[in-house]
Amino acid sequence: MRKFKQGLAFSLFKFFAVLVVGILFSIVFFILFNGIKVINWEFLTKSPSNGMLSGGIFPAIIGTIYLIIGSIIFAVPFGVSAAIYNIEYGKNNWFVKIMRIMTNNLAGVPSIIFGLVGMALFVNKLNFGPSLISGALTLAILILPLIIRTTEEALKSVPEDYRTSSYSLGASKLTTIRKVVLPAAIPNILTGIVLSIGRVSGETAPILFTVAAYFLPHLPQSIYDQAMALPYHLYVLVTSGTDLEASRSMAYGTALVLVAIVFAMNLLAGFFRNKMNKLNKRNS
């Protein structure tokens, strides 16, 4: 009887594992199968036409790329610096402890709140209006905790010996960080950046009111312009528009591009992580 209960429970859990894999595969299959029909060079390089029923999604791709670049530019310097301060200087003083709590909480804030605050602060108060800069800043705040957390892990995993050897040769703390610690931590820092790129590409709520537009006649010319973006484009294609059935195929194509970007970033991050582990193994 006892053995039977165990067998039952364990079979159930095995089933769960199969179920979860099945869910992922059905989602991927759903998008891949339907989206691949739509993807071609035209789709990726042309603007939408005919009321979103045909054409391509090029401006959305460009918009997303701009947003990625913008948010990374803002988040990485601050995030990496913050992590450097936390790990190398602050160690465990009260300031760092409080900031760590703040960072963890910021990580848990729903993305729509970022959208709200981004709108209130960047779009309205600072008068940037809905624009690339508003969107990029909002997204930068969104990914900041992620960058800080992964950079902290990267710095922590650099062996202490590296630092002590450098100091014993007469190098200052700053020089040590710049020339020894950071280079050693780069692969893991890159992991964090790459994961953030994946995150930024897919977020809709923060850009709803800060930058996204459904259709723009031309590509954004300056950072004060609005832009189209992939996740928002997908959202609109699926929920509004005049002929939902017909724009469905565009939706599949957009979803495929979006998911492809996210998966590629995940793979890249995993690649960097493995490289880091190999590096550390060799040296220990």
Partner 1 sequence: MKKIKEKLMYGYLMISGGVTGIIILFIIIFLFSEGIGLFQSKNIENGYALYLNTENVIEELSPEEITNIFDGKITNWKEVRGQDLEIITYRFNDLLNSYSESDLGDNYEHIPLIIEEHISENKGIIAYLPTSFAPEESDFVRILSVGNIELKDFFIESKWMPTSEPVPLFGSLSLIIGTLLVGFLAIIIALPLGLGLAVYLSELANKKVKKVLKPVIELLAGIPSVVYGFFGLIVLAPIVQKVFKLPIGETALTGALVLAIMALPTIVSVAEDALNNTPRELKEASLALGANQWETIQKVVFPYAKSGILAAIVLGVGRAIGETMAVLMVTGNAAILPSSVFQSVRTIPATIAAELGEAPTGGVHYQALFLLGIVLFLFTLMTSVVGEVISKKKY
Which residues between 38 and 57 bind partner 1 (CB under 8 A)?
none
3-state SS assignment for residue 126:
coil
- CA–CA gap between residue 85 and residue 111 (Å, rounded): 27
7-26: which residues touch partner 1 (CB under 8 A)?
Answer: 9-10, 12-14, 16-17, 19-21, 23-24, 26
Task: Specify the stretch interacting with partner 1 by CB under 8 A; choose among 41-49, 184-192, 199-207, 217-225.
Answer: 199-207
Residue 36 in contact with partner 1, rule: CB under 8 A: no
Task: Specify the stretch interacting with partner 1 by CB under 8 A; choose among 3-11, 54-62, 157-165, 215-223.
Answer: 3-11
Dihedral (CA of 46, 48, 50, 54) sign: positive
- CA–CA gap between residue 151 and residue 208 (Å, rounded): 29
Q: Which amino acid is at 81?
A: S
Residue 102 in contact with partner 1, rule: CB under 8 A: yes
Residue 235 in contact with partner 1, rule: CB under 8 A: yes
Query: b or e along 11-23 (b: 16 or more beta carbons within 10 Å of the residue's beta carbon)?
Result: eeeeeeeeeeeee
Q: Which residue, 44 or 109, has its beta carbon nearer to partner 1?
A: 109
- In the block, tokens 């190999």 appear at 278
From 201, 226, 247, 276, residue interacting with partner 1 (rule: CB under 8 A): 201
121-150: which residues touch partner 1 (CB under 8 A)?
Answer: 121, 124-125, 141, 144-145, 148
Encoded tokens for 216: 């723009």
158-177: which residues touch partner 1 (CB under 8 A)?
Answer: 172-174
